[in-house]
Amino acid sequence: MGRTVKNIVIVVTALVWLVPSYLLVVNSFTAAGDYTGTPSWWPTSWAFLDNVGEAFATANVGSGMVNSLIYAVLGALLAVVVAALASFAVVVMPIKRPAVWFWAIYVGTILPLQMFLAPLFSGYAATSLYDTQYGMLLIYAALAVPFAFFVMRNYMTTVPREMREAAALDGAGWLRMFVSVHLPLASSAMVAAFLFQFTWIWNDMLFGITLGTSPNVRPAMAALADLTSNYSNVGPPVVLAGALVASLPTILLFFVFQRFFTRSLKLTS
């Protein structure tokens, strides 16, 4: 009986979560001229490709997706490498007050991101980092480090101490121990951290609309925001079609690497 109730709750919850996605897909196929202002529950036209073309032409969504791909791949990769090095130092190396170092890095996941906007904007404007791709990449990589560090540090604590003692007896230094022993063992955790941070960077709009204005700099979500502000006359179906296409990379990433997402949830629990 309890199992049946649990399954029913899971199915109902899944359906509730799927309803907005279903409405997004259905209404993205509606021609902009046929949209009445009320969401349709059934397809009334097949203008999806036309809507996508208008979104790409009006707000440079395609350019934004390319920018997001650069930021998400390079930013997440840099963050994971830095997090792996920091985790190795905090967990394995005999540094003083490792708990203090842990909290000094991890606190970046606790503070609200909005509090960084004003100082970042002022600093970027003063150092010519504003509205540049490397400026965006820098902030995304920096903000992705704390959570990646949390995942990597949790995994490093599970590596048996005897392994590093054996490596030390064989004459391995800290760098060799990190590269040859801990890094291969932590590959799954690194992939999981990369996937999480890739998804976060790809879906970010806050820093995209604050630290960039040019089409060749702004990420995909900032480009989509233009469709509902400066270019609001395109109509909701165009916005929905652009949003659907822009969300495809993270959806595909989740399904391809689903087992790493599941494993990462165990690592962070």
Decide if 227 contacts 210 (C-beta within 8 A).
Answer: no
CATH code, domain with 216: 1.10.3720.10
- Asked if residue 39 is part of any domain, the answer here is no
Distance CA 176, CA 178 (A): 5
Question: Is residue 23 situated within a structural domain?
Answer: no
Q: Answer yes or no: is 71 within a domain.
A: yes
244 found inside a domain: yes
Dihedral pair phi/psi, residue 264, rounded to 5°:
-65, -30
The domain containing residue 178 runs over which residues? 47-267
What is the per-residue pLDDT for 74? Answer: 94
- Count of CB atoms within 10 A of residue 156's CB? 20
Q: What is the dihedral of CA 66, 71, 74, 78, to 10 degrees?
A: 180
Query: What pTM value is reported for the model?
Result: 0.80
Query: Quick check: is 42 in a domain?
Result: no
Burial of 132 (0-12, 13-18, 19+ CB in 10 A): middle
Domain count for the chain, please give it: 1
Tens place of pLDDT per residue across the chain (269 aa): 567 777 788 888 888 888 888 877 877 777 766 676 677 777 777 777 887 787 787 778 888 889 999 999 999 999 999 999 888 888 887 778 878 888 887 777 777 878 888 888 888 888 888 888 888 999 999 989 988 888 888 888 887 777 776 777 777 777 777 777 777 887 888 888 898 899 899 988 888 888 888 888 889 888 888 777 654 577 777 888 888 888 888 888 877 777 666 665 555 55
87 CB contacts (<8 Å, ≥6 apart)?
Answer: 149, 152, 153, 155, 156
Residue 26 lies in a domain: no
Q: Is residue 38 part of a domain?
A: no
Would you state the pLDDT for residue 256?
Answer: 78
In a domain, 240, yes or no: yes
Predicted pLDDT of residue 70: 93
Residue 245 CA, distance from chain mean position = 16
Looking at residue 188, its amino acid is S
Token pair 């590959």 is found at 187
The DSSP symbol for 173 reads -
